[in-house]
Amino acid sequence: MAENWSRLECEAIVEDYLQMLSAECRGENYSKTEHRRNLKKLLRNRSDGSIEYKHQNISAVLIRAGHTYVRGYKPAWNYQDLLEDVVLDRVQALGTQLDLAEERLSNFAPDRLPATNRPDLFVDPPDRLPDHQLQEPRARRAQKIDYVVREAANRRLGESGESFVLEVEKHRLATAGRSDLVDRVEWTSKDRGDGTGYDLQSFEPMTGEPLYIEVKTTNSGKYQPFLISANEVRFSNEHADRFALYRVFDFSRNPNIFVLGGAIGEFVDLSPTVFRATF
């Protein structure tokens, strides 16, 4: 049985992880292999697999605490309480440094839309975790702003993602031989305003039936949570057979898309983040 990581080991790997995360948020190149090689000198004969899993644990802690994470380190939710304490202590000690780095990442939107004809553009969605694997949050530390909220408030990023998916859908229909439908794809949120419950109206190429698309865009990775309104959830329930959520991720670098087709609650855990108080 593997020995639990000590506080000193946890502090070493958290410090190294946050250096990688800050560099990634700033758009700087770095080598994960080099970081791991230097890190191993500070650890007690830990295997590469053990280090990789600890990185995934740190991703999970950061996501639950309202931060982004190092892309490529899929969150692993079964972690030591000690690790969570070390991560949150270190984030708090950084003060505004990580906050400013995350602000830079969330504010980026490309001047030109990425290519829409990549064969690897669409990928499988994340697996949904069984409920018993999700830990209840422990005592939360004060934080300035949730990364998910920050990105959701960035209208330029959201519109860039919607414009990208609009072109993706036109290309998809044209490739499927439905040029008759290409010019009928509608950017609903722009043409008719918010509140419809979806952003774009496209079509199923085989049947020509409408496809209502809600677009959620992030400069972070595949596992970053996203905000969705009660109206959007309700619309997905009422039009499950014609609704799809397109999650655009890694938008600032090399975007990919996964699709959740149907009632959104079938694919994700929906947690209330705000309440309306009425007198």
Contact 12, 42 (CB under 8 A): yes
Domain count, the chain: 2
pLDDT of residue 9: 97
Q: What is the 3-state composition of the chain as percent helix, strand, coil, each rounded to the nearest 5?
A: 45, 10, 45
**Are residue 101 and residue 152 in the same domain, yes or no?**
no
Judge if 163 and 231 occupy the same domain: yes
pLDDT tens string 115-168: 988 999 999 999 876 554 555 555 555 556 789 999 999 999 999 999 999 999
Asked, for residue 99, whether it belongs to a domain, the answer is: yes
Domain that holds residue 68: 7-107
pLDDT at 64: 92
One-letter amino acid identity for 30?
Y
Distances from the Cα of 17 to the Cαs of 22, 63, 186, in angstroms?
Answer: 9, 14, 42
b/e burial code for range 14-37 (CB count within 10 A of at least 16 → b): bebbbebbbebbeeeeeeeeebbe
Do residues 152 and 260 both lie within one domain? yes
* CA dihedral sign of residues 246, 98, 254, 159: positive
Question: Which pLDDT score, from 0 to 100, does residue 129 have?
Answer: 66
Q: Identify the pLDDT of residue 271.
A: 84
Q: Is residue 217 part of a domain?
A: yes
Where among 107, 128, 159 does a domain terminate? 107
Backbone angles phi, psi at 200, to 5 degrees: -130, 150
Residue 102 lies in a domain: yes
Same domain, 96 and 167: no
Q: What is the CA radius of gyration of the chain?
A: 20
- Do 167 and 252 lie in one domain? The reply is yes
Same domain assignment for residues 101 and 178 = no
* 1 domain-assigned: no
Q: Are residues 16 and 102 in the same domain?
A: yes
If you search the block for the tokens 């770095």, which residue do you land on? 30
pTM of whole model > 0.85?
A: yes
Q: Please give the distance of CA 240 from its chain centroid, rounded to a whole number.
A: 23
Do 77 and 161 fall into the same domain?
A: no
Q: Does residue 27 sit within a domain? A: yes
Does residue 124 form part of some domain?
no
